[in-house]
Structure 1
C-alpha cells in the first residue's frame, strides 16, 4: 500500500509576485454549471418516473436506483454550494484560515457522494439490460456484482484513506498521518470508473447488431443505448483534472474543475439512462411526434398479435419491436425486448 504523510497545502510557499489575483473566485461557476446540468437530469428522471409508474404502471428496481442517483446528484450540488460559501473556488492562499478545514471537509463529502451516485447509475443501467436482453443475463449479473463490489471498496477506501480519519481534510492537525497516495489512489479509481463505463456501454452492442431488423432500426437502438458515451467523455476530463489537482498545491482553486466534471458526468449518465424511457410521456404530450418511428417498424414479421402489442404505450423502448437472436437462441419479436422496456441509460452507459 502506498502511504505517505499528507502534504500541507496552507500556507503555501508562493511569492507575492507569483500569486494570481487573490480576489479571483471560480465558485459561482461551479454552482451554476452543476445546478443547471443536475436540474435537467432531475426533470428527465421525473418524466421517466411518470412514464414508468403512472403510464406504463411498471416501475422497476432500475427506476428506483436512478432516482437514488438523482437524489445523490442533487445532494452533490448542495454540498458543493456549501463548499463555495467556505471558499472553494478561491486560491488557497486567499482563503480565510477559519474556512480551510470546512471547505476541505465538504470537498471530501462530495467525493463520497460521487462514488455512491456513479455506482447507482451503472447498476440502474445494468438492471435495465436484464429486462431488455435476456440472453445477456449472465454477463449482466456479473457486471452488477462487479460494480457493487467496486463501489463498496472505493467507498470504504475513500472514508478510510487516512489514519487518523480526519487527516484527509485537516492536514495541519496531523503532521505524521499516514494516507494513501492521493494521485495514485484517485487516478486508479478514475480509471476504474472509466473502464466500467465503457464496459456497460458496449455490453449490449453484439446483441443489438444481431437483431433481425433494418439497419436504421438497429442504429436507432444503438444510439439510444450509447448516449452514455457523453458521460464517458466527461469521465475522461475528470480523470485529467484529478491528476492536476493532486499534483498541485492550490487545491481549493483546482478542485473546481474536478467538481464540475464530476457533476456533469453524473448528470449526463442520469440523462442517458433515462431518455429511452420517455416515449410514453412524449406520446401523451405529442401523440404524432414519434408515430413514424414507433409504428413504421411494426415489424418485419407483421401479424395480428404483434399489432395488438403495438399500442401507443407498448413499452418505453418501443422503437425496437424486433425479432432477434442471441447466444441462447431465438428470443422472439416483442417478448423479450418489450418485456423490459423501461428506460435505458448508458452510462454512464448504464444498462439495466
Structure 2
C-alpha cells in the first residue's frame, strides 16, 4: 500500500478564525438590535415595521453565522487534502444554508433601512422616492434570494455534486453579479436620505451628527467591495472560503448595526440626561411638541410622556430618528400662507374652517397652569404659603400641525 506524503503546511488550520469573527460580529449586532428594541418598544412605545425587519435580519444573520462557524466541524478552515472526504457533502450543505440565510439577512436589512427612512422622512417628495427605491431594491433582493435557493435543480445537487443528475447555475458569474448588485443597492440606500437630512430644521451640530450616523452605512459598502476579491475560490475550497465567509458575516452584521444606530437616541438620552433637550442643554426650558401621524402605532401613553413635569425638565423630548421629521419650510409654508390669506378674506367662520380642513392644517391650543414653585416636592400642599401672594402662571401654546389621514382609524 502506497501513501502520499503531504507538505507539513497541508495540516495548517485556521478553523478558529470564522468562529472568532462570527462571535464578535454577531455579539455587536445583537447588542445593537436589543438596544433598538428597548428604545423603540419600551422607552417611546413606537415599535414599527422597520424594527421588525431589523429583528428578522438579525435572526437570519445569526443563522448564517452559526452555519459558518459550525462548518468547521466538516472541514472549514482546513486544507481539503486532509479533510475526511465523507464529510464534504455535509460541508457543502452547510455552506448552501449559510448562503441562503446571508442573502435573506441582506434583504431584510435593506428593507429595514428603507422603512425607517419612510417613517422618519415624512415629506411627500421623499416618501415617493423611498417607495420607488423600496420597490426596486426589494424586487432585486428577492430575485437574488430565489436564484440562490434554486441555484441547482434539484436543490440537493449543490452538495451532492456529480453524484446526482441535474444542473446548476455557474457560481462565479452569479456571485459577481450578486455582489455588484448589492454594492449598487447599498450605495443607493445610503445616499437617498442625505439631501433630506441636510435640510432638516435642526441645529447644525445635530444635523452633522445625524448625517454622520447615516453615513456610517458606507462602511458596509466598503466591506462589500473588499469581499468581492475573495469570491474566486480554488479547488482548495474548504481553506479559501474562510475569508469569503468571514467578510460575508461582517457585511450583514455591519449593515444591521448601522440600521440600529440612528434609533438609539432615546436610550442615550436616558443614560445621558443632557441629551434630552433638542438644544443639547438639559436645563433648557424650551421644548417641542410633535403630533404623531399614527403611522407607527404611537400610543396615547407615549404621547402623554411629552407633557410638562414640575421638576423643571424640558416639556417634551424629540429625537431625530423618532420625530417624523417635519417638512422643509418651502413645502409647509405655502399652505400656511394660504391659510393666513383665507382668514383675512373669509374671516374665522365656517367657510374659513372648511378651507382650513381642505389644506390639512389643524390648530392646536395647549394651556398650562403652574402654581407656585416648579420645585415643590410630593407633599406640595404643606409647602404652600399661608399668607401673602402666590404666583400663578398661565402659558398658552398655539401650534399648527398638518393632519394625515389614516384609513385604518
TM-score normalised by the chain length of structure 1: 0.79
Q: Deviation of residue 105 (structure 1)?
A: 0.7
For residue 270 of structure 1, what is the aligned residue in structure 2? Answer: 256
For residue 113 of structure 1, what is the aligned residue in structure 2? Answer: 101
In 2: Cα distance, 1:124 partner to 1:278 partner: 15
In 2: Cα distance, 1:132 partner to 1:209 partner: 14
Q: Deviation of residue 303 (structure 1)?
A: 7.8
Q: SS at the partner of 1:22? A: helix
- Aligned pair in 2 of structure 1 residues 278, 128: CA closer, same or farther (>3 Å)? same
Q: Deviation of residue 186 (structure 1)?
A: 0.5
For residue 199 of structure 1, what is the aligned residue in structure 2? Answer: 188
For residue 314 of structure 1, what is the aligned residue in structure 2? Answer: 318
Q: Deviation of residue 323 (structure 1)?
A: 6.7
Alignment partner of 1:30 is 2:18: yes
Q: SS at the partner of 2:75? A: coil
- Aligned pair in 2 of structure 1 residues 40, 334: CA closer, same or farther (>3 Å)? farther
For residue 254 of structure 1, what is the aligned residue in structure 2? Answer: 240
Which of 155, 160, 172 pairs up with 1:183? 172
For residue 279 of structure 1, what is the aligned residue in structure 2? Answer: 265
For residue 50 of structure 2, what is the aligned residue in structure 1? Answer: 62
Q: Deviation of residue 23 (structure 1)?
A: 1.8
Gaps of 5+ in 1: 1-14, 337-352
In 2: Cα distance, 1:331 partner to 1:206 partner: 23
Q: Deviation of residue 151 (structure 1)?
A: 2.2
Q: Deviation of residue 127 (structure 1)?
A: 0.3
In 2: Cα distance, 1:83 partner to 1:129 partner: 37
Q: Deviation of residue 164 (structure 1)?
A: 3.2
- Aligned pair in 2 of structure 1 residues 203, 105: CA closer, same or farther (>3 Å)? same
For residue 74 of structure 1, what is the aligned residue in structure 2? Answer: 62
Q: Deviation of residue 74 (structure 1)?
A: 1.1
- Aligned pair in 2 of structure 1 residues 109, 316: CA closer, same or farther (>3 Å)? same
Gaps of 5+ in 2: 291-305, 309-313, 337-398, 403-409
For residue 147 of structure 2, what is the aligned residue in structure 1? Answer: 157
Partners of 2:200 and 2:325 within 8 A in 1: no
For residue 226 of structure 2, what is the aligned residue in structure 1? Answer: 237
Alignment partner of 1:296 is 2:300: no
C-alpha distance after superposition, 1:281-312 (max 9, x if no partner): 12222323x358x43389xxx78758979657
Alpha-carbon RMSD: 3.1
Q: How does 1:30-49 map to 2 (within 5 A)?
A: 30-49=18-37
In 2: Cα distance, 1:205 partner to 1:334 partner: 27
Q: SS at the partner of 1:40? A: helix
Partners of 1:283 and 1:312 within 8 A in 2: no
Partners of 1:221 and 1:320 within 8 A in 2: no
The total of aligned residue pairs comes to 312
In 2: Cα distance, 1:192 partner to 1:255 partner: 21
Q: How does 1:207-218 map to 2 (within 5 A)?
A: 207-218=196-207
Q: SS at the partner of 1:211? A: coil
TM-score normalised by the chain length of structure 2: 0.69
